[in-house]
Amino acid sequence: MQYTTFAAIDIGSYELSMKIFELSSKMGMREIDHIRRRIELGMDTYRSGRISHDLVEELCEVLQDFKRIMGEYRVSDYRICATSAIRETKNTILVLDQIRTRTGFETEVLSNSEQRFLGYKSIASKETNFRSIIQKGTAIIDVGGGSIQISLFDRDSLQSTHNLRFGTLRIRERLAALEGSSLRYGDIVEEMINTDIYNFRRLYQKEQKIENIIIVGEFINQMIQRITKDTQEHFVTCDNFMKFCDEAGEQAPEQIAQELGVPAENSAMILPALVIYRRLVTEIGADYIWAPGVELTDGIAYHYAEQNKIIKFQHNFDNDILAAAKNIGKRYMCNKTHIAVVSELAMIVFDATKKLHGMGKRERLLLQIAVLLHDCGKYISLVKVAECSYSIIMSTEIIGLSHKEREIIANVVRYNTLDFETFDNIVDKEQLDVGSYQIMAKLVAILRIANALDRSHKQKFKNCKAVLKEKELIITVNTVEDISLECELFPEKAGFFEEVFGIQPKIKQKKKI
């Protein structure tokens, strides 16, 4: 049987974790080893903004040991991901350079949306339970050392996802002076997080009925096992979970740690975790909790197996990204009928010009998202639509996209109506490289002509087709309506398309009045 030995490494806020998997089409994902080493990188980041030299030294030593273990298992491929502790530190570049120099490892710093998407994929790796649970209203709560992510599902579709900037380690560091001196420490933690949780419930969950909560985070598996008294059981009722939280809240952290079988050095983060879980379960108001017992490393391996077509999974994650974008558009009251037509036209043009642009499935997805959000700025201003749309996209997390991809989308939307700037001018504002600039230009050119074809917002065209003929892209439209407006304004948008692709788009009307 053919299989791939893969190592997934997570450089987290307070520990390094490595899982080694055997991946095969027949057996799926099989974990064969799990190694954890405690290093509180987040302690430095959240307290001073920089990771100290001593911690970087310790980090590199652990990674060297991981490298040795990978060699023993004859690992054929690996991926190393760092999260908020390295993402938020001021010396990120220097830390990554030290890792590269000392270990030879290339480390990928995940944006929050990328991190949470992999966390979501780790849950999806438990396919049978996952697919059945998210058919009903479900909240996925991912609690990390630096922040938590709440994603809302309904009928197998991702409705929205939101980041709350408090996590177990960040809370501990911010309230370190009160931890041992106040008998009300748990109440103080609750006061600190209450407003954010209430605002999430009021603004985003609203009246949505949530029946199930899926929780991924530190200590949750031990808590569930303590409630069920069964190491194999991962489901509890919310009522039983709340009873456990009330009883545990009366105990000292060290006592809770002992009962849960948690190392003593982790006891200081148990109470913040307990308060977070209790407040979220109370506010969301679900019936059941499922703790699948997975980590980011499971999502890393799942993603690798999916991308390399080693394992075929049932769930379509691109649809989740699109669903999240659609819900952002809904929030800002985008014109659904106009967007549907422009989206169809944009995909027709994209597919017809594949030989010219050389872009693939991922860029097609970025174009779809840009179409969904290209008018969202009208919610704020009918005059400064481009800049407002740009600001909304850059300020709104879209799960599954990197920061660079979000920049590309935001700029495609911005330059849909504004004059397209030179690379040097854009680089002064953004962190885009030449390749990203080229992708952006191609997507802008396609979006412009697709949008121009529905300039009246009357959806005049039916069954459109696009065909390349020598130096022209012939867009055949089937309509008996008057398209004088579209034909008059089309050349203005077609000029940039010709500049980018070297061909001239033209409208051909199949039926006339």
Q: What is the pLDDT of residues 318-358, one digit of tens each?
A: 888 998 899 899 999 999 999 999 999 999 999 999 999 99
pLDDT at 229: 86
Contact 445, 328 (CB under 8 A): no
> Mean pLDDT throughout 158-185?
81
pLDDT at 183: 62
Contact 312, 250 (CB under 8 A): no
Answer yes or no: is pLDDT of 259 > 90: no
Q: What is the pLDDT of residues 473-490, one digit of tens each?
A: 998 888 778 888 888 888
How far is it, in rounded angstroms, from Cα 99 to Cα 56? 8
Answer yes or no: is pLDDT of 21 > 90: yes
Q: What is the pLDDT of residues 368-395, one digit of tens each?
A: 999 999 999 999 999 999 999 999 999 9
> At 50, is the pLDDT very low, low, confident or very high (cuts 50, 70, 90)?
very high
Angle (CA) 389 391 394, round 5°: 110
How far is it, in rounded angstroms, from Cα 126 to Cα 137? 18
Contact 414, 429 (CB under 8 A): no
Answer yes or no: is pLDDT of 182 > 70: no
> At 72, is the pLDDT very low, low, confident or very high (cuts 50, 70, 90)?
very high
Angle (CA) 343 345 347, round 5°: 70
The dihedral sign for the CA sequence 294, 299, 304, 306: positive
Answer yes or no: is pLDDT of 462 > 80: no
Report the chain's C-alpha Rg in angstroms.
25
Bridge partners for 505 per DSSP? 473
Please report, to the nearest 10 degrees, the dihedral formed by the alpha carbons of residues 465, 467, 473, 479 taken in order.
-20
Per the listing, tokens 């979000």 go with: 406
How far is it, in rounded angstroms, from Cα 132 to Cα 128? 7
Percentage of the residues of the chain whose pLDDT score is greater than 90: 59
* pLDDT: which is higher, 231 or 443: 443
Structure tokens at 157: 């579709």
Choose the most confident range, by mean pLDDT, from 85-99, 222-236, 447-461. 85-99
Q: Of 2, 1, 18, 28, nearest to 302 (Cα)?
A: 28
> Mean pLDDT throughout 180-201?
85
Beta strands in 155-265 (DSSP E): 157-164, 212-217, 235-237
pLDDT at 288: 95
The residues, any chain, with a CB within 8 Å of residue 485's CB and separated by 6 or more, are 455, 456
Answer yes or no: is pLDDT of 314 > 80: no
Choose the most confident range, by mean pLDDT, from 144-158, 188-202, 243-257, 307-321. 188-202
Contact 500, 412 (CB under 8 A): no
Average per-residue pLDDT for the chain: 90
User: pTM, whole model, 2 decimals?
Assistant: 0.84
Bridge partners for 31 per DSSP? 21
pLDDT at 238: 95
Tally of CA atoms within 13 A in the half-sphere of 155 that contains its CB: 2
pLDDT at 1: 54
How far is it, in rounded angstroms, from Cα 37 to Cα 311? 29
pLDDT at 302: 93
How far is it, in rounded angstroms, from Cα 46 to Cα 13? 9
pLDDT at 512: 55
pLDDT at 511: 63
Answer yes or no: is pLDDT of 428 > 80: no
* pLDDT: which is higher, 32 or 315: 32
List Cβ<8 Å contacts ≥24 apart for 183-190. 185/271, 186/249, 186/271, 186/274, 186/275, 189/271, 189/272, 189/275, 190/275, 190/279
DSSP-based three-state secondary structure for 502: coil
Structure tokens at 348: 């027709």
> At 191, is the pLDDT very low, low, confident or very high (cuts 50, 70, 90)?
very high
Answer yes or no: is pLDDT of 103 > 90: yes
> At 157, is the pLDDT very low, low, confident or very high (cuts 50, 70, 90)?
confident
3-class DSSP string for 115-183: HHHHHHHHHHCCHHHHHHHCCCCEEEEEECCCCEEEEEEECCEEEEEEEECCCHHHHHHHCHHHHCCCC
Answer yes or no: is pLDDT of 216 > 90: yes
pLDDT at 196: 93
Burial of 230 (0-12, 13-18, 19+ CB in 10 A): exposed
Give whole-number Cα distances, 460 to 69, 350, 413, 474, in Å.
63, 20, 23, 17
Q: Of 376, 209, 285, 304, nearest to 19 (Cα)?
A: 304
